[in-house]
Amino acid sequence: MHTLKSLTFGVIVAAACWISYQAGQTPPKEQPQAATPASGPRKPLIGIASGPSPDNYVRAIREAGAVPVLLPNTDGSAAAIDEYLVKLDALLLCGGPDIPPSEWNEEPHATTKVLDNDRYLFEKALATAWVKKTKKPLLGICLGSQWINVVHGGSLIQDIPSEFNVNHRDTTHPVTLETDSKLAGIFGETQFEVNSLHHQAVRKVGEGLRIVAKSPEGIVEATETTDPSRFLIGVQWHPEKLLPSDLRQGKLIKAFIAAAK
- Per-position b or e across 48-87, b if 16+ CB within 10 A of its CB: bbbbeebebbbebbeebebebbebebebbeeeebeebeee
Tell me: cis bond preceding 50? Omega within 30 of 0 counts.
yes
- Of the listed 123, 221, 224, 240, which one is catalytic? 240
CB 239 within 8 A of CB 252: yes
199 a catalytic residue: no
β-pair type (209-214, 220-225): antiparallel
Q: In whole angstroms, how far apart are CA 65 and each of 19, 141, 181, 235, 247?
A: 59, 19, 25, 21, 15
142 a catalytic residue: yes
Whole-angstrom distance, CA of residue 202 vs CA of residue 148: 10
- Of the listed 152, 168, 198, 238, which one is catalytic? 238
Whole-angstrom distance, CA of residue 107 vs CA of residue 22: 89
- Of the listed 94, 123, 142, 152, which one is catalytic? 142
173 a catalytic residue: no
- What letter would DSSP give residue 98? B
Which residues are designated catalytic?
A: 142, 238, 240
